Amino acid sequence: MIDFNADILSGRALGNVFLGENISKYMNELYTGFKVNYFDYFLPDDEKRLAYIVDDTITIATLEDGTIISIGCNVSYKGRYNNILQTGQTMRQIIDLTNKQRIFNGFIIINDDFGFSFELPAPYDEIADSIAHVPLDLVLNEIRVADYSDWNPQKI
């Protein structure tokens, strides 16, 4: 059951919606219990993606065949990652609560966990190349769960 208070599970789930599953598994619940906005978009290489925005709180992105590839949330979501991180925290709080933070492609990766990230807001998503470029009082309002393991420089 979709739950805006559920724990955030790195590389696995957000809101009790699971990566790798087909969106069809959730359709009945989505359209009977929530307001859903749906749209499609194209990546720079012309690959089509579909997005479902659920109660203006979580966004589920899928491949054309319905496979869920990422799930994001904003400050309306109340679940936490590892019982300590959630949307609405400042960069200073995140630094204080974690051991390592790195920027990849406009996202902050925490403790080299490439299944969980904070999304940097504009303009920092374009101009910040290191954590030192992010103001300590910047509030991070978006989290994403996905498989970003390809970004891991330690990946063999």
> Which comes out higher in pLDDT, residue 140 or 106?
140
- pLDDT band, very low/low/confident/very high, at 126 (cuts 50, 70, 90): confident
The pLDDT of residue 149: 86
pTM: 0.93
* Residue whose token pair is 């504009």: 122
Angle at 8 between CA 140 and CA 96, to 5 degrees: 45
- pLDDT band, very low/low/confident/very high, at 155 (cuts 50, 70, 90): low
DSSP 47-88: -EEEEEEETTTEEEEE-TT-BEEEEEE-TT----BTTTB-TT
Please tell me the distance from the alpha carbon of residue 137 to that of residue 90, in angstroms, as a whole number: 5
The pLDDT tens digits of the residues spanning 72-124 come to 999 999 999 999 999 999 999 999 999 999 999 999 999 999 999 999 999 98
29 three-class SS: helix
The pLDDT of residue 154: 77
The pLDDT of residue 156: 54
Please tell me the distance from the alpha carbon of residue 84 to that of residue 92, in angstroms, as a whole number: 14
The pLDDT tens digits of the residues spanning 11-70 come to 999 999 999 999 999 999 999 999 999 999 998 999 999 999 999 999 999 999 999 999
